Structure 1
Amino acid sequence: MTGQNPCEPPYKLYPIRHWNPQLSGGLEKIIQKCTQLNPDDRFQSCAEVLYALHHYEEVDDTYRAKQKAKLRNFGIVAASALFFLLMGITGQAMETHTNNDHYSQIIQTAEKTNDDTKKIDYYLQAIDIKPTANEAYVGMLSAFKSDASFTVGEEAKFKNKITPHLMDFRQNPDYANLAFEIGKTYWYYYDYGRTKNSDNQITRMKSSIQWFADAVQYGSKSNSFYEMATVYRDIGIFNRDITLHIDEASDNGLYRPYWENIKRLNKMIEKTPNENEIVKLELYKLTMDALETYSRKFKLDGIKESDLRSVYQSVKKSTKNVAVTTDKTRAMKSVIVKRFGETERAIELAYRQE
C-alpha cells in the first residue's frame, strides 16, 4: 500500500499514513493490528480480518469524527426539542391554571349578578374559556328560566355555544347530567309555538326528546336522574308518534306503557316535595290530558277503571295543594282545576261504553 519494505532501511514499521497521508485511517489501524509484535494483540482469525476490512471506514478517524459530530448535533437538537417541549408543557399548564382561575372568577361574578342579561353574558364568556364544562351551561339555563320562559332567542344563544362542541362534550362523564337539565328546560319552559289561547306542550315534549335520549345514552343506571330521563324520553316519543300510529291503525298496545310512564313520573315528583310549581302543574296537566284523551284507549289496553280513578284523585288533590306564586302558575292551576269535571266524565264514559 505504501511501496515501502520494512525489511529495508530504515528497518522500521511506520504507520501507512506516514508515507501517504491520503490513505484511510481505518486501514492504518487494521494494518497496525496485523503487524503487532505480540501475536496475542493481532487478529485471531482470517474471519476477523475479513470483517475488519469490510468495515474499515467505521474505524476511520474522519468517519468517527463525523459520526461524533452527528451524534453531538442530534444531542443538541434533542435537548432543544426537550427544552421547548417542557417550556410548552409549562406554558400550557400555566395557561390552563390561568384559564381555570379566570373561569371560576367569571362564574362567581355571574352568580352574584342580579341582572339576568348580564348574568347570561358572563356565562357565555365562561363557556368560551371551557366549552365542555357543565357549570356555565347550567347557570345559563337557570338564568333563561328565571322568567319562566325559554325563548327562541335564548335557545339560539345556547345552541350556538353547545352545538360546535357537542361531539367532544359527549365524552365528558358529566354531560348526561347537563343533557337531562336541557331536556327539562325544553319540556317545561320552551315557548316556541305558545300563544295566549294555545298551549305548546306537544312541541315542548318533541323538542326535549333528543336531550333526554342523550341523558340515557351517555349516563348510567347509577345516575339519580336516569330513570326520570327514561320516562320523559318515552312519554315524549309517545306524544310525537301517536297520531301517525292512529292513522296507520298501529296504536294497539302503546297506551299501557304510556300510562305506566305517566304514573311513574307522578310518583317521582311526589318524592320531591320541593319541586318547582311549574314542573308539578305541567305534569298534572299532562296527566289530565292523557285521561281525557285516551281513557277509552287505556280501557282497550286492559287498564282498570280503578287505576285511572286513583291517579285522577291523587292529581286532583295534589293540584289543589300546589302553592302558586306567579300569575303564570296561578293561571295554570286554574285551568287544571276547571277541567276536573271533564276528566272525570271522560273516565266514566270510557268505562260505561259498550
Structure 2
Amino acid sequence: MARVGDIIDGKYEVLSLVGQGGMSRVWLARDRRLNKLWAVKEIGRTARDANNEVVVQSLITEANLMKRLDHPMLPRVVDIIEDGKTIFVVMDYVEGTSLKQAMRAAGRPMAERDVIGWGIQLCEVLEYLHSRTPPIIYRDMKPANIMLREDGTVRLIDFGIAREYKEGKTSDTKILGTRGYAAPEQFSHEAQTDARTDIYSLGVTLYVLVTGHAASKETYWRPIRQIDPRLSEGLEHIIAKATQANPDDRYQTAADMRYDLENHEKLTGAYRGALRRKLRLFGALRGAAACLFAVGASCLGASAYLRNTTYDAYLASARAASTDFAGADGASPAEGRYVDAIGVDPARTEAYSELVNRVYKADQDFSIAEASRLQGLMGAHLADVEGADGYAKLCYDIGTLYYVYYEQADADESRDYAMSAGIQAAQWFQAAVDSHDARASSGKGCALTASERSSAQVYVTIGEFYQRLSQATLEGFEGNVYEGYWQSLEEAFDGLSDDDPVMARLRLCSLINQAVSSPTYLNGFRRAGVARDQAQALLAKATQMAEGLAREAASSQKARRICDSIVSEGARAAAAENIARAYESAGATAPQKSAAHEGAGDGTSAGGAPARETAR
C-alpha cells in the first residue's frame, strides 16, 4: 500500500491521505511533471478474498464509467495504474469539504436556502447521468459523497456502485447501497434500480441536511415541519414525494424534481388545491372533447391549436422577459419561459434556438451552470427534437456557443474547462454534420449552408485533437495527429468572414496564436512537415486580424483581454522566439515522441489551446 512520499508510476508524488473506507484509500498526489494536484484512489488485491474482488471490480467499474463522463460537477479519471497487487485510479482532486463534514462542523442543520440550491445542482447532474446511453444510475447519493466548494457549488464523487441501466432487466445482480439513504428497491432481488432510485436518495439527503436528523426509517418519515416549523411547505412536499416507497409515486425524472425545487415557494396547500381543481376541470374538458371526437376530428385540431397557442405565448413572454436578472438557480426569467415553452412542445426548435442565441450568448459568457442546465434540457428532450427540421442548425449554434463563449476565467481549473469546451463543441458540430448529411441524402433539403457545413467539420477535427490530447496521459498519441490539426487551423482561418461574430474571430486568432507559441505543439507541427515560414505566416495572419478587431473588441472586457493576449509586444516576442527555437534547436529528423511523454498536459487556455510557454 502507498505511503506519504512514495512516487506512483514514476510521476505521482503522494502528499497526504485525504480519505479511506472499507478496503480503499484516497491520497492527495502531485504530478511532478505538470505540477498539478490529483486525487488517487488506491485498493490492493487480496488473493482468494471474494469480498475484495467485489471491491476491486467496483473500482474498475467506477473508473471505466467516469472515463466516459464529461460534466463540470463530476471529477474526471485521467490515469489507471495497476501493478498486479494494487490498483491506482488518478482523478481530479476536488477541493472543498463534504456536506457531511460541513454539517458536522456547523453543529446544526443547513440553511433551507442553501439546501434547495444544492438540490437543484444535484438534480442537474442526475439529469446528465440519466440521459447517457445507456443511462447511468448513481445509487449512492448521500452527504458524504457530495463535495462543497468555496464558491457554493457542489461536486458528486465516488461512483463505486454506480451502474448502467439495462433495458428489460427485472432485477439487479448485487444488493448495494447505504442503509438509510438507499431506496427500498436497492435491497430487493425482485426490483431493478433506475432513475427514480437516485431521486429517492436525493430526497433523503435533502431531509438529512435540512433537519440534521440521521437517515433512518424512524426519522425521515416524519414531515420536516414537525421537526422545524420554520421550514417551507414546498420543500416538505418535495421531500415527501421524492421518498415514497413505491417508485411510481415519486418524481419520475430529476428534471421534474428540479422544477419543483426551483418553484418550491409556490407549492403551498392552497396552490396545490387550485392546481387539482384545474386538473379536474381539464379532465372534464378532456371527457367532453372525447365525446366531441365521436362527432368529428375537429378536437384534434383544437388540441394542436391549444398547444401551439400556449407555446407561442411562452415564446412571447420569454422575448419580453429579462435576460439579466438571475434567480436562486442562476437562470434568468427569459430562460425559465423558454424552458416552459420547450416543455409544451419539445419537438419545435424555436425555443431552443432563442434560448441559445438570445440568452446564453447575450453576455458573451456561457457559464458552467448554464452549460449544466442546457445539457440536462437537451438530454431530456433529445428524442423529441433530433428529427426536427431545424435540429442541424440548433446543433451548430450550440457547438458555436461552447467553442466561442464557454470559459471558466480566473479559476485554477480553467485550463481543464477550456479543453472540455473544445470537446463538447466538437460533439455538437458532429451532430450538426450528421443531421445535415442525413437530410441531404434523403432529399429533404439542406439544413446548413455550405459554409456552416464546412466550418462544422473543421471544428470536429479540432475537437478530436483535444480529445486525443486529453487522453494522452493514458494512451499517448497514435500516429501524427498534428498534421490534421494544423490543416484544420488553416482551413478554419480561411473560412472566416466579416459576418462571423467578433468573439468567434478573436477566439480562432487566439487558438492559432497559442498553438504556434507552444514548444510542445510546434515540435509536433514540425515533425508533421509544417515548415517554419508556414508557422510564421499563420501567426502573422492571426495577429493582423486581431489588430483589425481591436476597435470592435473594445466594448467587451473579455474580447479586449483576448485581443491583448495576441497583439501585445510580449505575446508577439514570445511567439516569435518559440518558433525560432523549435526550428533551430531541433533537427528535422528528431524522433517522434508521444504527447504523453512530451508534456501533453501543458496548460490550455480558452478553446483548448495550449497556454503560452517559453521554449527551453
Same fold (TM over 0.5): yes
**Aligned pairs, number:** 271
Query: Which of 318, 341, 347 lines up with 1:126 in the alignment?
Result: 341
Structure 2: any 5+ residue segments left out of the alignment?
Answer: 1-289, 325-331, 441-445, 588-616
Query: Which of 333, 353, 358 lines up with 1:138 in the alignment?
Result: 353
Segment drifting more, 203-212 vs 113-122: 113-122
Name the counterpart of 2:430: 213
Name the counterpart of 2:480: 253
Name the counterpart of 1:278: 503
Alignment-mate amino acid for residue 263 of structure 1: E
Do the aligned residues in 2 keep the contact of 1:305 with 1:351 (CA within 8 Å)? yes
TM normalised by structure 2 equals: 0.41
Post-superposition shift, 1:145?
2.1
Are residues 126 and 351 of structure 1, via their aligned partners in 2, closer, same or farther at CA, if it must alter by over 3 Å?
same
**In structure 2, what is the Cα distance between the partners aligned to 1:336 and 1:92?**
59
Query: Which of 554, 561, 567 lines up with 1:337 in the alignment?
Result: 567
TM normalised by structure 1 equals: 0.69
Give matches, 1:155-174, under 5 Å. Answer: 155-174=371-390
Name the counterpart of 1:202: 419
Alignment-mate amino acid for residue 535 of structure 2: L
Name the counterpart of 1:149: 365
Are residues 127 and 250 of structure 1, via their aligned partners in 2, closer, same or farther at CA, if it must alter by over 3 Å?
closer
Higher CA-based Rg? 1
Q: Is 1:93 matched with 2:301? A: yes
Do the aligned residues in 2 keep the contact of 1:131 with 1:161 (CA within 8 Å)? no
Q: Is 1:308 matched with 2:516? A: no
Segment drifting more, 103-112 vs 252-261: 103-112
Are residues 245 and 156 of structure 1, via their aligned partners in 2, closer, same or farther at CA, if it must alter by over 3 Å?
closer
Post-superposition shift, 1:195?
1.8
Q: CA RMSD in A?
A: 2.6
Q: Is 1:320 matched with 2:535? A: no
Do the aligned residues in 1 keep the contact of 2:430 with 2:456 (CA within 8 Å)? yes
Do the aligned residues in 2 keep the contact of 1:238 with 1:258 (CA within 8 Å)? yes
Q: Is 1:352 matched with 2:584? A: yes
Alignment-mate amino acid for residue 134 of structure 1: T
Name the counterpart of 1:288: 513
Are residues 296 and 84 of structure 1, via their aligned partners in 2, closer, same or farther at CA, if it must alter by over 3 Å?
same
**In structure 2, what is the Cα distance between the partners aligned to 1:297 and 1:246?**
16
Runs (4+) of structure 1 exceeding 6 A deviation are: none
Alignment-mate amino acid for residue 102 of structure 1: T
Partner of 2:543, secondary structure, is helix
**In structure 2, what is the Cα distance between the partners aligned to 1:302 and 1:321?**
30
Do the aligned residues in 2 keep the contact of 1:192 with 1:203 (CA within 8 Å)? no
Post-superposition shift, 1:286?
0.8
Partner of 1:140, secondary structure, is helix
Segment drifting more, 252-261 vs 241-250: 241-250
Q: For residues 13-56 of structure 1, what are the alpha-carbon distances to aligned partners after superposition, in whole Å with 9 as ceiling and x for unaligned? A: xxxxxxxxxxxxxxxxxxxxxxxxxxxxxxxxxxxxxxxxxxxx
Are residues 126 and 243 of structure 1, via their aligned partners in 2, closer, same or farther at CA, if it must alter by over 3 Å?
closer
Do the aligned residues in 2 keep the contact of 1:177 with 1:215 (CA within 8 Å)? yes
> What percent of counterpart residues are identical?
21
Name the counterpart of 1:108: 316
Give matches, 1:227-266, under 5 Å. Answer: 227-242=454-469, 244-245=471-472, 248=475, 250-266=477-493
Name the counterpart of 2:14: none
Alignment-mate amino acid for residue 190 of structure 1: Y
**Bigger helix fraction:** 1
Post-superposition shift, 1:194?
5.7
**In structure 2, what is the Cα distance between the partners aligned to 1:335 and 1:344?**
14
Post-superposition shift, 1:135?
1.0
**Bigger strand fraction:** 2
